[in-house]
Structure 1
Amino acid sequence: MIEEILVNITPQETRVAIIQQGAVQELHIERSQSRGIVGNVYLGKVTRVLPGMQSAFVDIGLDKAAFLHVADLWMPKNSKPDNTPIEKLVFDGQTILVQVLKDPLGTKGARLSTHISIAGRNLVYLPQEDNGNQIAISQKIDNLEDRDALKKRFQALMPIGEQGSYILRTSAEDADDQELQNDLRYLSATWRKVQEGSLRLSAPSLLHQDLSLAERVLRDLATDATGQIRIDSAENFEKLTTFARDFTPNQESKLVLYRGERPLFDLYDTESEINRALGRRVDLKSGGYLMIDQTESMTTIDVNTGSFVGARTFDDTIYKTNLEAAQTIARQLRLRNLGGIIIIDFIDMHSKEHQDAVLDELNKNLARDKIRTSANPFSSLGLVEMTRKRTRESLAHLLCEPCEVCQGKGQVKTAQSICYEILREVLREHRQFNPKEFRIIASADVIDRFLEEESGHLAQLIEFIGKPIRLQAESSFNQEQYDIVLN
């Protein structure tokens, strides 16, 4: 399946869209003021060890302390017996070399590891490993003869006496010797820079920053299936061409400077796709639809038939809707970058054969995802529970913030509810303070309701407490805001 990559670059942000079959499949956004830090290497300082959680907080220079769990604490072979508690391995004030595994998410700080890995186009370098230049090969290269041939070819290129281990990525199978040597030089030079910085700088300090999003397009996102990489910035086109020539030569010919009159992201309706990806409802071509709700702990997806009545029987209608939903869900997970626990409520199917077919369709489409996913069979309640590795903020968390009116609830109390809340509060304050009069300041809708539908209840309260109540509309108040002034 031929794909196209659009790279829109402005001084404030870089946006990347991956297009397949004329539709946006993935969106990546990096802002200059809030660039992601996954892959960065820091010299950090342990600020607090938490034995009860078997973890530690580490200052790496961010607003929030980062989090290091004992399972992510690497030690040379045989120097850390199994089940050694973290308080015997690190201490408060210790200077420590760490790498970011996950960006800060919501209220959580960054997740760290002390096992450093540096990624190239075709290789991943593990410089701390001391097991004699071990070579691991991507599981996606499954032919034994190809694996053996690639390993022997790479062994002949490895520098003699250099410590560390390497993982050969899937792209290494198609790389020539020169491309592998380019990766080796880049990775060795990067690690030397980290080592020198760790000796010269004080904690907290950034020792290595991962590539920019535009550069990661060439290293991580572009594949053999990529036809063109269109870039709308002449300056950055030249920079990426130079980068590709040095580190990803097989991608250089795919780079194209976009000179069209229309903005690049107007192609394939990309801007509109971004806006649709921020909504709860996703319409299916058949007339059915999905409802996607993202919470702090999980994402839920509900499948509905809507107006679809195109199949011969109701069971066929449900089956066809669920099949289309499985395809769309896999795409929406990539597009919205949803991660963590995901619960899918497909429309109930009585046929085990239909359930298996829908699950197969979901897994087939999830296989296109570069992020690791895992889907379980249908549960006894008819739900599919799955996970998708979460390493950065979702599209909604990146582009949006909680509504100041509803505070992220997604709904507000009705004007009637606010009226009754105000009436109760007036009665409470009458009993506590016994003022001469009350003045209610609220939104126009609430005041209008007091003057119309709730005028009888307001009059009853005035008569009961024997005090005047004045009304004042405030245009700047949202529906849930009000003040009760005592005179």
Structure 2
Amino acid sequence: MHNSDIPLPKDIQRPAETVLVNITPQETRVAVMEENRLCEIHIERNSGYGLVGNIYLGVVRRVLPGMQSAFIDIGLERAAFLHIVDILEQRQKPEQTLRIEHMLHEGQSIVVQVIKDPINTKGARLSTQISLAGRFLVHLPQDQHIGISQRIEDENERNYLRERLQKLLPADANHGYIIRTSAENATDAELQSDINYLTKRWQHIQQLSKISPPETLLYQDLPLSLRVLRDMYSDNIDHIIVDSSATYESMREFAMNYSQGALDKLQLFHDDRPLFEEHNIETRINQSLQPRVNLDFGGYIIIEPTEAMTTIDVNTGGFVGARNFEETIFKTNLDACHVIARELRLRNLGGIIIIDFIDMATTEHQEEILTELAQALAYDRTRVTLNGFTSLGLVELTRKRTRENLSQILCESCPTCQGRGRLKTAQTVCYEIQREIVREAHQKNAQEFRILASPSVIDLFLDEEANSLQMLSQFIGKPIALTVEATYNQEQYDIVLV
């Protein structure tokens, strides 16, 4: 049993990737494939543009001293949320306990940045610490320190990068930067163009904030097609295939100024068949909306996301191919590690994730499974923390939740079952209707009761429950008529008093 986090391997050899960019007037979809396997899908709809990174001139609507937070209007449907820990002054003085009511008052204008999209009923989460992402650097205009990505672990490399950046900055520079992982291979000229680009961006934002009315969007992050080049592009990408000539041109222009290595990889897709169809992406997206995922050797996993956490159950299914049962279990669990890691990325599942591997008899097998899982999770661009096996034999991990998962983007709750995933049986509904008629008969004087219900419920009343309906009619001393409502679902009914 592990109580501490298990480190994920850092220097992994990533497999070659192909990135497919599909453009329609309504949405942009980006698929990332590793060795012909779909690993990530990013969707940006014009109607629901992601807000993370956007900078607004907001207005303080309510300050809540008890929660040390405030509601800020930034022009969205729901007020956004600002907590004391995300206020710049508190971040700069973590050892002091500052009070939000001493820093903000209702009606105050304030420049804020979205750090978490609104999800379900929660409003967007804000910060007053502004950061602007570039290709190699993140600009921190209100800070003065130079930070370095945690993924660059070598101390000499960290010092070397810090010194290089300091030489490029003017002597009187009073802005901070975070050096991104991609900066390890960047030239001085590339770093300098990043600094120039980010400095101009911040100057523009400051000017706008002085002349704009409250609830104005001051800065919006790049569209998804260009974020592919800024955030996802790396040397192990072989091809970036785009199916829109206008987007292809804008990506080429961005690459020329910003990531020249990507220029040779960009390709315009010419084919009568749709790009995602050609690579079987549509089928794979539909599969990723199902709870069951089949493993290579006959086993399968069930993935069930809930509000509190995501649970993943591993099963052997029909797999009995190995020499003995213990070996079968181990092989199935091993196979599941890579599929689970890939599905977490593909479905973009965040928060607490609990994996119920098939019970293993030996701790050696458990250790090997954890090593394999850590290896598979290391490919994830999103931060993952692996905790190991609990005393109940479950594996706990957390994955940073940054945006809505795939199911939340593409699906909605079933109107018939309200997202429960189950319906009351026709028999249950029949008995409910009969109880209600008894209640109504005591309270109201009607000549006749008419039941309007779905075909399956009326069929049951005419067949198996015909006797009980007749007894009910005699008990209340009133006739009961039946009417089929074809548009009603199985749980819907009305009782009409005539």
TM-score class, shorter: over 0.9
Cα displacement (A) at 1:77: 8.3
Can you list the C-alpha shifts for 1:34-83, whole angstroms capped at 9, x where unaligned? 10010011111110111111111100110000011111111288778611
Partner of residue 398, structure 2: 387
**Match in the other structure for 1:230:** 241
In structure 2, the partner of 1:211 is 222
Structure 1 residue identity aligned to 2:287? R
Match of 2:408, SS state, is: helix
Q: Which moved more, 1:351-360 or 1:185-194?
A: 351-360
Match of 1:345 among 340, 352, 356: 356
SS of match in other structure, 1:75:
helix
Q: Is residue 90–residue 98 contact of structure 2 (8 Å, CA) maintained in 1?
A: no
Q: Secondary structure at the match of 1:431?
A: helix
* Identity, % of aligned positions: 55
Report SS of the residue matched to 1:96.
strand
Alignment deviations for residues 257-311 of structure 1 (CA, whole Å, 9 cap, x no partner): 1112221101331000110111111111111111111112211111111111112
SS in 1 for 2:63: strand
Aligned residues: 484
Structure 1, 401-410 or 261-270: larger mean CA deviation: 261-270
Deviation track 1:312-340 (CA, whole Å, cap 9, x = no partner) reads 22211111111111111111110001111
**Which whole-Å CA distance do the structure 2 matches of 1:238 and 1:78 have between them?**
42
TM-score between both structures, scaled by the size of structure 2: 0.95
Distance in 1, Cα, partners of 2:486 & 2:173: 70
Work out the CA distance in 2 between the residues paired with 1:412 and 1:159: 67
Return structure 1 stretches of 4+ with deviation > 3 angstroms: 76-81
Letter in 1 for 2:403: R
- Matched letter for residue 62 of structure 1: L
SS of the equivalent of 1:377 reads strand
Give 1:148 shift.
2.9
Alignment of 1:61-210 (within 5 A): 61-75=75-89, 82-129=96-143, 131=144, 134-210=145-221
Q: What residue in structure 1 maps to residue 11 of structure 2?
A: none
Give the structure 1 partner of residue 389 of structure 2: 378
Change (3 A) 1:408 1:77: closer
Q: Please tell me the residue identity of whatever aligns with 1:265.
A: F
CA separation in 2, counterparts of 1:136 and 1:375? 25
1:266-285 paired onto structure 2 within 5 Å: 266-285=277-296
The answer on whether the counterparts of 2:136 and 2:180 sit within 8 Å (CA) in structure 1 is yes
Which residue of structure 2 aligns with residue 11 of structure 1?
25
Q: Which blocks of at least 5 consecutive residues in structure 2 are unaligned?
A: 1-14
Say whether the 8 Å CA contact 1:23–1:268 is kept in structure 2: no
Residues 19, 239 of structure 2: 8 Å contact kept: yes
CA distance in 1, matches of 2:176, 2:90: 13
Distance 2:385 2:132 in 1: 26
Q: Distance in 2 between matches of 1:346 and 1:334?
A: 19
Contact 1:15 1:30 survives alignment (8 Å): yes
State the 1:103 CA deviation: 0.3
Distance, in Å, in 1 between the alignment partners of 2:90 and 2:406 is 38
* Separation in 2, partners of 1:267, 1:17: 12
Q: In the alignment, residue 18 of structure 1 is paired with which amino acid?
A: V
Q: Which amino acid in the other structure matches residue 226 of structure 1?
A: I
Helix, strand or coil at the partner of 2:47: coil
5+ residue gaps, structure 1, are none
Question: Which residue in 1 is equivalent to 2:346?
Answer: 335
1:22 shift after superposition: 0.7
Distance 1:480 1:308 in 2: 40
CA distance in 2 between counterparts of 1:348 and 1:94 reads: 57
CA contact (8 A) 1:14 1:29 kept: yes
Q: Distance in 2 between matches of 1:252 and 1:385?
A: 41
Matched, 1:425 2:425: no
Match of 1:289 among 278, 282, 300: 300
Q: Secondary structure at the match of 2:88?
A: coil
Q: Deviations over 1:214-267 (max 9, x none)?
A: 010001112111011000001110011001111112222211111122211013
Between the aligned partners of 1:339 and 1:52, the Cα distance in structure 2 is 28
Question: Does structure 1 residue 254 correspond to structure 2 residue 268?
Answer: no
TM-score (normalised: structure 1)? 0.97
Q: Aligned ranges for residues 357-376 of structure 1 at < 5 Å?
A: 357-376=368-387
Distance 1:249 1:154 in 2: 20
Q: Equivalents in 1 of 2:26, 2:261: separation in Å? A: 29
Q: How far apart are residue 405 of structure 1 and its match?
A: 0.6
Equivalent residue for 1:34, pick from 48, 55, 59 = 48
What secondary structure is seen at the aligned counterpart in 2 of 1:202? Answer: coil
Question: What is the CA-CA distance between 1:143 and the residue it aligns to?
Answer: 2.8
Q: Is it true that 1:53 corresponds to 2:64 in the alignment?
A: no
Shift of 1:139: 2.7
Question: CA RMSD of the aligned region, Å?
Answer: 1.4
SS of the equivalent of 1:253 reads: helix
Kept after mapping to 2: 8 A contact 1:438/1:468: yes
The counterpart of 2:478, out of the listed 448, 467, 472, is: 467
1:376 match: secondary structure? strand
- TM-aligned CA distance change 1:368 to 1:78, over 3 Å: closer
Task: Provide the C-alpha distance between the structure 2 equivalents of 1:227 and 1:348, rounded to a whole number of angstroms.
Answer: 40
Q: Which amino acid aligns with 1:404?
A: P
Q: Partner of 1:310 in structure 2?
A: 321
AA aligned to 1:101 is: I
Contact in 1 for aligned 2:90/2:96 (Cα 8 Å): no
Cα distance in 1 for residues equivalent to 2:394 and 2:140: 40
